[in-house]
Amino acid sequence: MSLHATAAALVAPGKGILAADESHPTMAKRLARIGVESSERVRRDYRELLLATPRLSEHVSGVILFDETIRQTRSSGMPFAQGLLRAGIIPGIKVDAGLAPLPRFPDESVAQGLDGLSDRLAEYAALGARFAKWRAVIRIGAGRPSSTCIAANAHALARYAAAAQEQGLVPVVEPEVLMDGDHSLERCALVTAAVLRAVYDQLARHRVDLGGTLLKPNMVLPGTDSGQVVGDDEVAAATLAVLRDTVPASVPGLVFLSGGQSAEEATARLDALNRSGHQPWQLSFSFGRALQAPVLDAWGGHHDHRDAAQAALLHRARMNGLARRGRWSAALEPSPPPLVA
Ligand code: 13P
């Protein structure tokens, strides 16, 4: 499949991406929350549970894997990437090597992993990956982000995107502006716009073919400590205002990250985005926590809870599939347990 065809397939109507590419420390944190210790065996079992969910391909177009996972096999012995391809789901791979502090810029980081990247991409392609992801992180705070931090991360994202395309992989370009902090929605909008302008300037300089890319943006939200209360339609309007000013129409799709929103918040906002009239790009999801948190809760590390955990994943995937079309409603969610006085 060509880069353009793969990018289009990843944002097919009603479908989106499951991000299951947590690094070892992040996975250990997610598992610790449900009282499970992380080990290679546990990570493999959990990810097999996710990827073998029956009918997942009805709502999930692609899955982002971590380096360890793309080298692991299902209990049957079939490599995970092959299992996904057989199920009609496109395998992807996280290729940044995490965040490094940006010297002389306290509390700022640059995503690393450019050294040897082309060789790693070629190996991942041989293992079955058809798309890649690189996540840069931008933190809002007093005097942050610096223009240096934005420029360094935009440059690295463009170097990665060009290298991915050269190896036949669709780059998912992720410059995440974090929700952490006490900033307002308006500040998040200004920062997100500045970051996206820098990213598309660098992608052009590095001759990246935008029709064979996807953008993985944050939604425009107030900081978690801001106390600012916003409605879903307000979030959708602020997010679209920024994206329409900065993201070229030749990009086929935007796959939002969830970034710490609850599962239902992320779905409600994706639905509001898709109800906002016609846009030049598909508006889809590439959720990690917003798809997996309810699965981890249902599973709890117990083999007997596997079916319930898969049902939880299928439900969230279906809800986000509906939100992709602007057809979700809170009434479709199971009612929360009654409050005990
Ligand atoms: P969240 O949806 O949990 O933000 O994760 C998405 C992701 O892949 C971050 O890189």
CATH code (residue 132)? 3.20.20.70
Q: Is residue 109 part of a domain?
A: yes
CB 174 within 8 A of CB 212: no
Assess whether the C-beta atom of 66 lies below 6 angstroms from ligand 1: no
Residues facing 136 on adjacent strands: 175
**Catalytic residue list contains 68:** no
Assess whether the C-beta atom of 174 lies below 6 angstroms from ligand 1: yes
User: Cα separations (Å) of 166 from 31, 119, 272, 324?
Assistant: 36, 11, 36, 30
What tokens does 158 get?
Answer: 């463009």
Residue nearest to atom 1 of ligand 1 (CA): 288
Q: Is residue 27 part of a domain?
A: yes
Give the pLDDT band of residue 123 (cuts 50, 70, 90).
very high
**Catalytic residue list contains 133:** no
Q: Is residue 186 part of a domain?
A: yes
pLDDT tens column, 229-240 = 999 999 999 999
Measured in Å, residue 291 CA sits from the centre of ligand 1 at: 10
Q: Is residue 30 part of a domain?
A: yes
Can you spell out the DSSP letters for 171-188? Answer: EEEEEEEP--SS--HHHH
What tokens does 291 get?
Answer: 């798809």
Q: Tokens 């998040």 belong to which residue?
A: 188
Give the pLDDT band of residue 338 (cuts 50, 70, 90).
low
Beta strands in 116-169 (DSSP E): 131-138
Q: What total of structural domains would you count in the chain?
A: 1
d(CA 108, CA 87): 40
Q: Is residue 331 part of a domain?
A: no
The answer to whether the peptide bond before residue 145 is cis (omega within 30 degrees of 0) is yes
| Domain encompassing residue 57 | 3-323
What tokens does 124 get?
Answer: 């991942």
- Helix (H), strand (E) at residue 123: helix 117-126
User: Cα separations (Å) of 4 from 44, 186, 224, 284?
Assistant: 32, 34, 37, 16
Tell me the whole-structure pTM to 2 decimals. 0.97
Assess whether the C-beta atom of 259 lies below 6 angstroms from ligand 1: yes
Q: Quick one: pLDDT at residue 337?
A: 57
Q: Is residue 308 part of a domain?
A: yes
d(CA 241, CA 238): 5
Can you spell out the DSSP letters for 315-336? Answer: HHHHHHHHHHTT---GGGSPPP
Backbone angles phi, psi at 175, to 5 degrees: -100, 95
Assess whether the C-beta atom of 175 lies below 6 angstroms from ligand 1: no
Selected catalytic residue, list 174, 186, 234, 264: 174
Nearest to 15 by CA among 46, 67, 55, 52: 55
Q: Is residue 89 part of a domain?
A: yes
The residues near 326 (Cβ < 8 Å, ≥ 6 apart) are 271, 274, 275
pLDDT tens column, 73-106 = 999 999 999 999 999 999 999 999 999 999 999 9
Q: Quick one: pLDDT at residue 340?
A: 60
pLDDT tens column, 140-199 = 999 999 999 999 999 999 999 999 999 999 999 999 999 999 999 999 999 999 999 999
Q: Is residue 330 part of a domain?
A: no
